[in-house]
Amino acid sequence: MKIHSVEYAGTVAAPGGPKPGDFPQVAFSGRSNVGKSSLINVLLRRTRNRIAHVSGQPGKTQALNFYLVNDHFYLVDLPGFGYAKVSQGMRDAWRRLIEHYLSTEDKLVGVVHLVDSRRAPTPQDEEMVAYLAELGHPTLVVLTKMDKLKRKDRAAAVSRACASLGLEEDQVVPFSSKTGEGREALLEALSSLLAMESPVTEMEVS
């Protein structure tokens, strides 16, 4: 998949809010501070003119943000969970928003869930992956911040994630926003998801 164009397409802040269009969607989820915005910018080659806001303060993504890629599909950035210093009421509202989206969106072709490679998946990570399986959404787990691991610890991090989340190794992609590791593998995975939605479309990895 060559990234030819990316543009912010709109935000949905409440369950059932109007979508920006009817293109296929791939959602990105994960805990606050897992590196989701950095990953999105690297994936879409928007590291200079960032399209996803990167902040030192977790919890900045507070709604569903839609980015139109190649005039072909939406990358949907979901609110993070966990570390955000917000009220319980706000966290509950985000949860309702995410659950409504994941359980009702008929254009959603798959979900990419991010986990910090330096730590074991949390109960919230396990809950999310189990929930996605229950809904029947194809799910890929990306282990972020792999550049921060020693070489001897990398394989153990992948094995730990697979065991904790009940996944096969081909469902886990090691990724580093600093080095670009995993970008091509993640683009290939997105191409496969989108090809299931539109079998006649061929995409080229760049």
Tokens of 18: 């109007």
Tell me the per-residue pLDDT of 60-99, one tens digit each, with 9 for 90 and over.
457 899 999 999 999 999 988 765 566 666 667 878 999 9
Q: What is the pLDDT of residue 198?
A: 56
Confidence of residue 58 (pLDDT cuts 50, 70, 90): very low
Q: How far is CA 98 from the centre of its chain?
A: 13
> Into which CATH architecture does domain 6-197 fall?
3-Layer(aba) Sandwich (3.40)
Instruction: Please tell me the chain's helix, strand, coil percentages from 3-state DSSP, rounded to the nearest 5.
Output: 35, 20, 45
Kindly list the domain boundaries of the chain, sorted by start residue. Answer: 6-197
Over 80: is that where the pLDDT of 132 sits? yes
- Cβ atoms of 74 and 20 within 8 Å: the answer is yes
111's enclosing H/E stretch is strand 108-116
Lowest mean pLDDT among 16-20, 73-77, 195-199: 195-199
CA distance 183 to 38: 12
Choose between 206 and 24: higher pLDDT. 24
Please check whether residue 145 is in contact with residue 161, taking contact to mean a CB–CB distance below 8 angstroms: no
Q: What CA–CA distance (Å, rounded) separates 114 from 165?
A: 12
The whole-chain average pLDDT of the chain stands at 87
Cβ 92 vs Cβ 79: under 8 Å: no
Give mean pLDDT, residues 176-203.
82
* Look-up of token digits 């409440």: 14
Mean pLDDT of 4-9: 93
